[in-house]
Chains A and B, each alone.
Chain A
Amino acid sequence: MKKFTAFLFAIMLTATVAQAQTAIRVDGSTTVLPAMQKMVEAYMKANSGVNITVSGGGSGNGIKAIIDGTTNIAMSSREMKDKELEAAKEKGNVVKPMVIAMDALAPIVNPANPVADLKVEQLRDMFSGKIKNWKEVGGEDKEIVLISRDTSSGTYEAWQELVMGKDKVYPGALLQASSGAVLQVVSKNKAAIAYDGYAYVDKTVKALKVNGVTGSEATVADKSYPVSRPLFIIVPEKASPEVMKFVDFIMSPAGGQKIIAEVGYFPVKK
């Protein structure tokens, strides 16, 4: 019995020690995830008493968690819907979405493809299956091979919203499960067109101009590049000082914003 009490006491002791350490939970979008992981690493290195756990369950899951109050910071690659903002208010968790970075989506083709510039309308008609041949948009006489991300991907949703509007992606498009797979397929297929976040685009593929504009930090900032989206973190209005300190780090030009640029997104503060 004595042993058992000692055991209980030991557990309680460890529990109090663990509480003395700040624990922060971050959950949400897999698009924001790679940048967030690097920021967390850097932050934890500088602040030894802080323990941050990050998981990427998708934007929807992150937002749900912050509404329910089960996470401290949510990552999202889309804006919160009105319904979600209301739900948060009802539960007494007023939340504040903050733009932490901009992401540009690029239409990508094989480097051997002569087409270099497409209009948003052309992209829409290609992806909805109305334009079927490259020669209709100034390319070679070849059937267009459409590559898309899976319907549940945040990148797919962004493309749907920014380019497709009310049209739907043609069901004959080849759906790929990851950004890496998209690049792999496009680099091997001369007639393929796909889309991917600028952070993922590499030398094996060619990023196209849209409406004559190349995606870059400047063109995204002045909104002349049409296919860009903000990336968010969402924090409760009544967040603890420890959480706010980490948020400040994310927004600081020398800290989080520098890491965002390194990962390939465009920072919002310089």
Chain B
Amino acid sequence: MAISRKLKDDLIRNLFLVTAMTSIIALGLIMVYLFLEGAPIFEHVSVGGFLFGNFWYPTADPPEFGILPMIAASIAVTIFSSIIAIPLGVMTALYLAEIATPRMRGIFKPLVELLAALPSVVIGFFGMVVVAPFLQETFDLNTGLNLLNASLMLAFMSVPTICSVSEDAIYAVPRELKEASLALGATHWETIRRVILPSSLSGVSTAIILGMSRAIGETMVVLMVAGGAAMIPTSIFSPLRPMPSSIAAEMAEAPFRSDHYHALFAIGVVLFLFTLVFNIIAQHIAEKHKQVGAATL
């Protein structure tokens, strides 16, 4: 029996629809669950008290659920790791896409991508046993487990993401644009700065946001090297406790459906909203700087 062309088309279309719906529904359910499990904590503490409270003593009597130090810590590690990772990642991408010879590119690109495959626990361990004592001695600090160490390790993790995604974007810039610029007498550097970078901005900014999302949501590394002090950081050498590390460290021991448990879910909600905002910004930038074709004759 021959299947008609139309039926075949419909079948395939529906198959894809079902697959796509499955993942969307799964995501939706996770979100609903997150909110449902987080909500009960607000019977005990106001939303303002939760977000702007300075003390986190979930097991004390009476408990205190203030996560301001963790929010500040998450923002701080994201900012500092971005300061390190963005220039490094984008410049490496430019080098790979524009300057390196095909041979060099063939060697370096897989190497950078391999870096992305390093398990975060390995990076965390490296930060804990190698970088922490080094920082402690070099800067004569109380502890090497601090904001700087966490930012370095997170940057180390987001550079490969930023680099390989922006490299693809830069590499995809139409040759006509580059040739036109060079033909007008611009140097290679001027072409990179004025033509190639702006026209790949959509892809590069997506890469940056992806890298930053990785930094803000990363759990293992901050759990191991950030120090874990629930205080608002005052310098780049302050130990700190970002949101993901609190959730990871405490969830196992928090009694099921206790206030502590609900509070940890509420932290998860806050973290989710943070990454959501990030992605909305990324979408917005990508849309705004969309490259709309090369003007060829």
Contact = CB atoms under 8 A, between A and B. Distances in A.
For the residues of B in contact with A, the DSSP-based class is: loop
A155 to B, nearest CB: 10
B4 interface: no
B231 A171 contact: yes
Contact of A177 (B133, B143, B144, B248): B248
Interface stretch (B51-59, B163-171, B271-279): B51-59
B39 interface: no
A237 B128 CA distance: 48
A168 B60 contact: yes
Nearest to B58: A151
Contacts of A160: 60
Interface string B224-251: 1001111100000001010001001110
Contacts, number: 87
A191 to B, nearest CB: 6
B229 A152 contact: no
B262 interface: no
B102 to A, nearest CB: 45
A142 B262 CA distance: 40
A181 B255 CA distance: 23
B296 interface: no
Interface size class of B (residues with CB under 8 A): 35 or more
Contacts of A172: 229, 231, 239
Given A143-B142, A152-B58, A152-B250, A188 B133 contact: yes
Given A175-B229, A189-B136, A151 B57 contact: yes
A264 interface: no
Interface in B188-242: 223-224, 227-231, 239, 241
Interface stretch (A9-17, A57-65, A203-211, A249-257): A57-65
Given A61-B255, A152-B249, 11 more contacts: A150-B250, A151-B60, A152-B252, A160-B60, A171-B230, A174-B143, A174-B228, A177-B223, A177-B245, A184-B129, A188-B132
Interface of B: 54-60, 69, 128-129, 132-133, 136, 142-145, 223-224, 227-231, 239, 241, 245, 248-250, 252-256, 258, 260
7 contacts: A150-B250, A171-B229, A174-B143, A174-B227, A174-B228, A175-B249, A188-B129
Interface of A: 30, 57-58, 60-61, 64, 143, 145, 150-154, 156-157, 160, 168, 171-177, 181, 184-185, 188-189, 191-192
